């Protein structure tokens, strides 16, 4: 494996790309599906349905023994708490995938009150066939997100923990993010010697994602 992996970023619709792409067994999806505020034309209920459907699609498009990983931060909307772990789990169940793990990443120190975004982010991993023995466990609570290249980015430390899991417990050597934003997980995967494939609707962000390097 190269010390620095290769990276390809397509500009376009990640849903259409996923539908048209059969991913080989050494590819894993690691993504953060857009929040309703990023796709306002759908309306809130439309976004909820879309979110579950896209989580299902991502779980279906990975190979049987491969994994789909979702990094999602809940939101508060109209006085309601929107649990995105529940929504991706519904999509995964519809795809016939089982949860392999569910991690929580602290966004602020435990015990703090957060008035805007919740104090933690979920990372969930699903597979149709892969199963983990108890000895293959990794930490469930991660103390920090790490560097975030922009406010909606994944945290680099959290991405690194996902890459460690992929390298140790799966055949994945290419990380696929169909909603890659600035490409945080692709840059972290490259740093770990894995290849990265991204799709991003925004032309500007797709261009930035081709170049992002994390220290």
* Closer residue to ligand SAM, CB minimum distance, 130 or 189: 189
* Closer residue to ligand SAM, CB minimum distance, 57 or 66: 57
CA distances to 3, 21, 118, 120, 160 from 32, in Å: 25, 18, 16, 14, 15
- Annotate 165-177 with b (16+ C-beta within 10 A) or e (fewer): bbbebbbbbbbbb
Q: For residues 119 and 98, give the distance between their C-alpha atoms in angstroms, rounded to a whole number.
A: 26
In the list 9, 15, 57, 92, the residue contacting ligand SAM (rule: CB under 6 A) is: 15
What is the x/- site pattern for ligand SAM, positions 128-167, by CB under 6 A? Answer: ------------------------xxx-------------
* Closer residue to ligand SAM, CB minimum distance, 92 or 149: 149
182 binds ligand SAM (CB under 6 A): yes
Beta bridge partners of 80: 77
* Closer residue to ligand SAM, CB minimum distance, 5 or 181: 181
In the list 56, 128, 179, 192, the residue contacting ligand SAM (rule: CB under 6 A) is: 179
Q: In degrees, to the nearest 5, what angle opens at C-alpha 64 toward C-alphas 17 and 20?
A: 15
Nearest to 126 by CA among 156, 102, 104, 99: 99
Q: Which of residues 30-49 bind ligand SAM (CB under 6 A)?
A: 32, 34, 38-39
* Closer residue to ligand SAM, CB minimum distance, 34 or 196: 34
Q: For residues 61 and 192, give the distance between their C-alpha atoms in angstroms, rounded to a whole number.
A: 24
In the list 5, 14, 91, 196, the residue contacting ligand SAM (rule: CB under 6 A) is: 14
**CA torsion through residues 22, 122, 100, 44, sign:** negative
Residues that bind ligand SAM (CB under 6 A): 13-15, 32, 34, 38-39, 152-154, 179-182, 184, 199-202, 205
């Amino acid at each position: 494996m190269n010390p620095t992996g290769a990276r390809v970023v397509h500009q376009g619709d990640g849903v259409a790309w996923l539908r048209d792409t059969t991913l080989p067994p050494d590819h894993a999806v690691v993504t953060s599906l857009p929040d309703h505020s990023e796709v306002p034309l759908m309306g809130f209920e439309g976004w909820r349905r879309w979110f579950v459907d896209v989580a299902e699609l991502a779980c279906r498009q990975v190979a049987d023994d491969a994994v789909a990983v979702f990094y999602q931060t809940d939101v508060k909307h109209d006085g309601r708490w929107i649990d995105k772990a529940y929504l991706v789990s519904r999509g995964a169940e519809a795809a016939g995938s089982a949860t392999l793990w569910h991690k929580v990443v602290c966004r602020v120190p435990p015990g703090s009150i957060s008035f805007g975004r919740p104090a933690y982010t979920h990372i969930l991993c699903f597979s149709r066939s892969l199963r983990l023995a108890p000895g293959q466990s990794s930490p469930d609570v991660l103390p920090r997100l790490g560097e975030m290249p922009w406010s909606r980015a994944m945290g680099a430390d959290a991405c690194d923990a996902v890459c460690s899991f992929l390298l140790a417990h799966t055949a994945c050597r290419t990380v696929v993010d169909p909603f890659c934003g600035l490409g945080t997980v692709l840059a972290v995967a490259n740093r770990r010697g894995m290849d990265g494939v991204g799709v991003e609707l925004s032309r500007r962000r797709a261009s930035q994602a081709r170049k992002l390097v994390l220290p």
